Structure 1
């Protein structure tokens, strides 16, 4: 996995601007610790940071094609194309000659063969930029689900782009400004396709190509999530899901460096581990996160039915994995350096930063022995793993299901309880969220003959896949790459996504069982205890000592008259909480989330010197 960046300007001569692009690439050093390079010509400068996973000796980037002494295209690329071997054979048959054995040159020659439509031929996770000197245009492209990130900002007569916002902010002409719309996007917990939060910065939406020409910037969606009529019966559906998932897992195992799997003991990650064990002839390596004393302290809440550790160990023993449990202490979670690293990785404050820190520490530990890890992300979104798929009080609210669920928890469910309510009304987070929901309804494809109940359930799936999943994938990518680890997500195979999305909701949750199809598809691979286990999200510590840490940090921010978060702070709400002279409650979401979000905002505003224009 890698970091890409660049600058195109149709007026300026960029041959003297390599230092600027090197600075942008340096901001992505964590994504590519193995190599750095910059390519420049008159109107384009491309940068690359490399984490070598396949073809470690070849595959240097940016990679320039050469034909008769000319350079028809230059590529800077991040990702893994799973079907690169078959594409290479097809391109060879069409007359292309390869100098390397990895997927980078396959992507480059796919562009030479099919132009911007090369993306239709690529399976996997990717984000790349191609500068075409003959056409004087830049192509930006992103994979169908948005596993790999890519953002850009128009600048003069051109653009700057990068894998992460920090690369753009390293350019001297790009400022960190967040206006009312950006703040509403940040606080809504909804990922609007293309929205970059920072003013003037945009994401390339998943499944989209952006073309930058001298007089225009245009975008085209080459893929979208659309249901088709599902005619398979139960047995055929289960068999197809098994085949598609097994194929995807096998494709994601290709690596020239050590590889492992993250294992929580839930059905999703356990399925990946079991299928990976069948696809290889060596003992799988697995990792799980846990907390000191978690087994003794654990209490069931609205999200977590039970601790992960016993289930993860059960699965590891069942498949013969070499399993390691990474045990975190409160001191680990409270380490200011870890907090800063997790925030810096994402460029934005996020609603569940304690989870981010736990995941960061897990991934950092994994990186000590592995360069690639597989994860079980998005199975819940595909197969109906969330409560919101089954509860009509959440799917029929006219709001995003997870927002409705958070609001149902109580007044602090959204994590905004310590923020100034007048400011929130002025920014109109609720209205912003309602508008984004209406936008989604307008694009949601209709399946003829679908019942109201089925459409409601499919809408919940569509919302999660297009407005919630991007937040999860962004978190996974940023935190893994911050440690120099490549994270692969087999459930994001677009063939599997297309098929699963079209499965009737009643079949997905047959018998009232969440993810019934997926459980049936791997029923011969996993212990019954795991197959029967309810959905449980990423674990969080329940140590009261962590609540003391949060309280002390809240006191420090609340009494700091120079804190940049003060304009956002509801001082009375903060005072009421502090006067109770107790640690912040760490069980459940409400109070903990309020405090965590405020602290994250303060750290972000300081670290990025963000100017709020609201």
Structure 2
């Protein structure tokens, strides 16, 4: 797509429904992804735009998940979705700022190599704090962070600006639940065409079940898919059966002993993505399920990913609640203490700590090498303690400590004024990051079906963040916000469920079954080669997972980083970058 100057503006390959182009005079607008506004409506709204920042008014009220690219009088504007489910990256090449929807594209064009510091932070698992979790695993390539936009003027000078801020959490439960239901309905409806066959993950949990009922209401013909875990005490399949019976749709069940196991296929080298992906855990399992869904006519697949992140505020909200409603805060804290066995002193610190976000980041840097770090600490401060696994080398600790100190000194501060709301926004961004990773690992790029995760849409996450945390969370009630939002649509027996099951047996069995591949990983570890892992400690962890006293998430993140480095070595040239047959050559 040419720019007004006649030079290329957008270069790539996309289906017609993946990119909507609109313009009015000196304004050009491209919406990449899924948006409820069509080209005609976008063109009509863009008439009033005179500056790049005003593009956001054009998209006001739009449902879906999309990135935005605009050009106004020679100045360009680019941003992903607010929470990162749709991401854009940028790098400098020959004095020009170039934006792409794949970090690996920019890494290839600039000759970038993997960034050891970012990989070291990844070893900390899911608890790595903002902004470390947003760093790109390629040196010289940066993410246009969640909630931020990149502006590039006519001279090629770029600057970052905030285009989105979290809403204040002021809505009571009923009003917030109404808004959440409306947002979820729109998020599902914008994806579904009446009569289309969709696969629907129905795990037995409230998140995937809610999406399935909304999809059926929107007119989709569903094929439900349920993984049946082996533990005899696991209740997921029973709740899944109740949901499918109420939906009245075909039901594919996948007993865990009849599908590929966890971590199967670790020895296979794939095209690397933008960064390490946790999709390696169940990649072959998901491929098996995808084939069956395709045989039943499914054109795409719904997932409930992000529901936990969206509707359950982290317990740190009691810190702010103590300043507004101290008696209620004390009651909630007492409930969490009883449920999670918090020591009294830790609970007191959770309520009374007054340190700033930079001081907390600096404290995490100081404590990173302490023996206490591996043991874990209570959730005091702005987030969970930053810990590295026992197999992380000294070099990895130094790198992560440096990143924490730099974020404290040069970062843009917390994501919201209060630590409770900051934690909620950060959790929502983690949902978006996870959605981006799931799409890359299991989506069409790797032969899968398009996967849609409505809980990770901006409008849905915003609706959740606007609800008072003491209403959205409770030590005594499971997901009260979602239960209230789905009342009358999803069966009460499912909404009132208080348990949550896991696949821990399959996780450990998968590690044991693949111990020969894991031993090979440890023998010639790429992480160890760049100084991020101690080979002996890594080997012990990989071949003796039953001895782990914690750190399961860190082990999985370590495997993801190791596999990614091996994939890069096996596939240094991106296969998707090619000249298409209908083009005589690269765009000049």
Please confirm whether the aligned pair reaches a TM-score higher than 0.5, indicating the same fold: yes
Query: Following TM superposition, by how much is the alpha carbon of 1:491 offset from its aligned partner in structure 2, in angstroms?
Result: 2.8
Query: Following TM superposition, by how much is the alpha carbon of 1:320 offset from its aligned partner in structure 2, in angstroms?
Result: 1.5
1:535-614 equivalent positions in 2, closer than 5 A: 536=500, 539=503, 542=506, 545-560=509-524, 565=529, 567-574=531-538, 576=540, 584-585=545-546, 590=550, 593=553, 595-609=555-569
| C-alpha separation in 2, matches of 1:246 and 1:129 | 26
CA pair 432-159 structure 1, distance change in 2 beyond 3 A: closer
Which residue of structure 1 aligns with residue 161 of structure 2?
220
TM-score with structure 2 setting the length: 0.72
Query: Following TM superposition, by how much is the alpha carbon of 1:365 offset from its aligned partner in structure 2, in angstroms?
Result: 5.2
Aligned counterpart for 1:463 among listed residues 426, 429, 443:
426
Specify every segment of 5 or more residues in structure 2 that has no aligned partner in the other structure, as ranges.
318-332, 354-359, 379-384, 571-588
Which residue of structure 1 aligns with residue 57 of structure 2?
120
Query: Following TM superposition, by how much is the alpha carbon of 1:248 offset from its aligned partner in structure 2, in angstroms?
Result: 3.4
Query: Following TM superposition, by how much is the alpha carbon of 1:571 offset from its aligned partner in structure 2, in angstroms?
Result: 3.1
| C-alpha separation in 2, matches of 1:406 and 1:76 | 49
Aligned residues: CA RMSD = 4.3
Q: Once the two structures are superposed, what CA deviation does each residue of 1:508-560 show, in whole Å capped at 9, x if it has no partner?
A: 13572132122122232333432232463774652764233342123223334
Aligned pair 1:382/2:343, yes or no? no
Aligned counterpart for 2:414 among listed residues 443, 446, 455:
443
1:564/1:605 contact within 8 Å kept = no
Query: Following TM superposition, by how much is the alpha carbon of 1:312 offset from its aligned partner in structure 2, in angstroms?
Result: 1.8
Which residue of structure 2 aligns with residue 262 of structure 1?
201
Which residue of structure 2 aligns with residue 81 of structure 1?
35
Query: Following TM superposition, by how much is the alpha carbon of 1:266 offset from its aligned partner in structure 2, in angstroms?
Result: 0.9
Query: Following TM superposition, by how much is the alpha carbon of 1:217 offset from its aligned partner in structure 2, in angstroms?
Result: 0.4
Which residue of structure 1 aligns with residue 327 of structure 2?
none
Q: Once the two structures are superposed, what CA deviation does each residue of 1:204-257 show, in whole Å capped at 9, x if it has no partner?
A: 122332122324101222211131533x4x544444433343343333324896
Q: How many residues align?
A: 510
Aligned counterpart for 1:336 among listed residues 242, 255, 265:
265
2:77/2:150 contact within 8 Å kept = yes
1:584/1:591 contact within 8 Å kept = no
Query: Following TM superposition, by how much is the alpha carbon of 1:267 offset from its aligned partner in structure 2, in angstroms?
Result: 1.0
Which residue of structure 1 aligns with residue 398 of structure 2?
426
TM-score with structure 1 setting the length: 0.69
Aligned counterpart for 1:286 among listed residues 218, 224, 233:
224
Secondary structure in structure 1 of the residue aligned to 2:121? helix
Aligned counterpart for 2:150 among listed residues 210, 220, 228:
210
| C-alpha separation in 2, matches of 1:183 and 1:48 | 32
CA pair 491-371 structure 1, distance change in 2 beyond 3 A: same
Secondary structure in structure 2 of the residue aligned to 1:567? coil
Q: Once the two structures are superposed, what CA deviation does each residue of 1:335-393 show, in whole Å capped at 9, x if it has no partner?
A: 4378644xx46432246741566456545654563333333233322321667777475
| C-alpha separation in 2, matches of 1:157 and 1:606 | 32
Aligned pair 1:472/2:472, yes or no? no
Specify every segment of 5 or more residues in structure 1 that has no aligned partner in the other structure, as ranges.
1-36, 95-108, 300-305, 447-454
CA pair 330-440 structure 1, distance change in 2 beyond 3 A: farther
Aligned counterpart for 2:275 among listed residues 348, 357, 360:
348
| C-alpha separation in 1, matches of 2:242 and 2:33 | 33
Which residue of structure 1 aligns with residue 390 of structure 2?
417
